Amino acid sequence: MKVVLAIDASTGSQSLVEAATSRPWPSGTRFIVLHVVNMAALGRFAVMLDQEKKAGQTLVAVTAEKLACAGLDAGTDVLVGFPRKAITEYAKEWGADFIFVASHGQSAVARFLLGSVAQAVLRTAPCSVEVVRSRLNGAWAKGNALKILLATDGSEGATAAVRSVMSRPWPSGSQTKIISVAELVIPGSEVIASSSSPTYPISLLEQMWNDARERARDAVEQARKLLETAEMKTLQEESALEGDPRFLLLEQAREWGADLIVLGSHGRRAIDRVLMGSVSEFVALHAQCSVEVIRG
């Protein structure tokens, strides 16, 4: 596995490093600690470029040393450019499997700053992306068990997320909870109906809801069977819900105290096939915990 850790000098990047060093990784995993000197931030003060590059080189070197102390294979690189674009281009050229980017908190300003980089990475990355946040249930530490909320709708993207989880080692005692949300999508439009519409007879809407519920239950069972082949135990709870998956996933993660949400980059929604992620992007940018958006 090849992982890009995109860091800066913020405190959020410290959580990113802690998260990476706290987990077991597949044999042969290689990390690149990447820092992009932001040309947009320098503006007309280009005279500071050399200073910023030296600071970046020190930053990645110190970070790589922390990874090495945790037994991880890590290299470094410093680029000059625009982080929104440079991170994904680097990942593409290197053939990365994962990009780790840090969240910068939950304030409105932080969400705006997060969106400026992480949202661009989520939309354009050629590989899977994890937006890392500070762990709510204590600090990230090596060997700490994780609570993983795995979202699925039975689509190819969701199945890729399930396979990603089952292919990686996790700390002993980690728990996986599978969740699928049934939602009513009106054929031929992007409108999600939460109540009966005069355009459609009640009987048709009831049948559509029943079909959606059945798909959600089937998606949970399919994911559970896949995880069982990797000898991963899942929580045997009711996990087929109804409503808007964006808000229900956030609510379930918060109530369960999840450390990590994992979901596919594209789902069954028609809009997901046009614009990456009315669901995955929303969850990644608004969750209180870390979020992985998996590409096949």
Residue that has been written with the tokens 């090495």 in this structure: 68
What pLDDT shows up at residue 272? Answer: 47
Distance CA(164)–CA(179), nearest Å, equals 16
Region 124-149 average pLDDT: 87
What pLDDT shows up at residue 170? Answer: 94
| Closest listed residue to residue 132, CA positions, set 121, 251, 65, 61 | 121
Domain 2-132: CATH class, spelled out: alpha beta
CATH of 147-294, one of 3.30.720.110, 3.40.50.2300, 3.40.50.11890, 3.40.50.620: 3.40.50.620
Q: Write the pLDDT tens digit of every residue in 176-229.
A: 999 998 876 555 444 444 444 456 677 777 777 788 888 889 999 999 999 999
> 34 near 153, Cβ under 8 Å?
no
Region 14-20 average pLDDT: 90
Give the confidence band of 107 by pLDDT, cuts at 50, 70, 90. very low
- What residue segments make up the domains of the chain, in order of their start? 2-132, 147-294
The helix/strand/coil state of 11 is: helix
Distance CA(97)–CA(30), nearest Å, equals 10
What pLDDT shows up at residue 57? Answer: 95
Above 50 in pLDDT, residue 50?
yes
Neighbouring C-beta atoms of residue 210, cutoff 10 Å: 11
In which element (H, E) is residue 209 found? helix 202-229
**Mean pLDDT of all residues belonging to the chain:** 84
Region 155-172 average pLDDT: 94
Region 231-247 average pLDDT: 80
Above 60 in pLDDT, residue 114?
no
What pLDDT shows up at residue 198? Answer: 52
What pLDDT shows up at residue 294? Answer: 96
Please state the pTM of the whole predicted model: 0.86
What pLDDT shows up at residue 193? Answer: 45
What pLDDT shows up at residue 104? Answer: 63
Distance CA(192)–CA(128), nearest Å, equals 27
Tokens of 266: 């594209």
